[in-house]
Structure 1
Amino acid sequence: MSWILLACAGVLEIAFAFGMKWSAGFSRLWPSLFAVLTGLSSIMLLTLSLRALPVGTAYAVWTGIGAAGTAVLGMALLGEPASPARIGCVALILCGVIGLKLASAGVS
Structure 2
Amino acid sequence: MAWLYLFVAGLFECAWAIGLKYTEGFSKPLPSVLTVIAMGISFWLLSAAMKTIPVGTAYAVWTGIGAVGVAIMGMLLFNESKDILRILCLLLIVSGIVGLKLVSKGEA
**Given the two structures, how large is their TM-score scaled by the length of structure 2?**
0.97
Residue correspondences, number: 108
Identity %: 47
Please give the alpha-carbon distance, in whole angstroms, between the structure 1 residues aligned to 2:105 and 2:21. Answer: 35
Structure 2 equivalent of residue 52 of structure 1 = 52
Structure 1 equivalent of residue 2 of structure 2 = 2
Please give the alpha-carbon distance, in whole angstroms, between the structure 2 residues aligned to 1:27 and 1:89. Answer: 34
Secondary structure of the residue that 1:46 maps to in structure 2?
Answer: helix
Please give the alpha-carbon distance, in whole angstroms, between the structure 2 residues aligned to 1:86 and 1:37. Answer: 30
Structure 1 letter corresponding to 2:70:
T
Please give the alpha-carbon distance, in whole angstroms, between the structure 1 residues aligned to 2:85 and 2:28. Answer: 34
Structure 2 equivalent of residue 80 of structure 1 = 80
Unaligned stretches of 5+ residues in structure 2: none
Structure 1 equivalent of residue 91 of structure 2 = 91
Structure 2 equivalent of residue 61 of structure 1 = 61
Deviates further, 57-66 or 82-91 = 82-91
- Is residue 41 of structure 1 aligned with residue 7 of structure 2? no
Query: Where has structure 1 moved over 6 Å in runs of 4 or more?
Result: none
**Could you say what the CA RMSD is over the residues aligned between the two structures, in angstroms?**
0.7
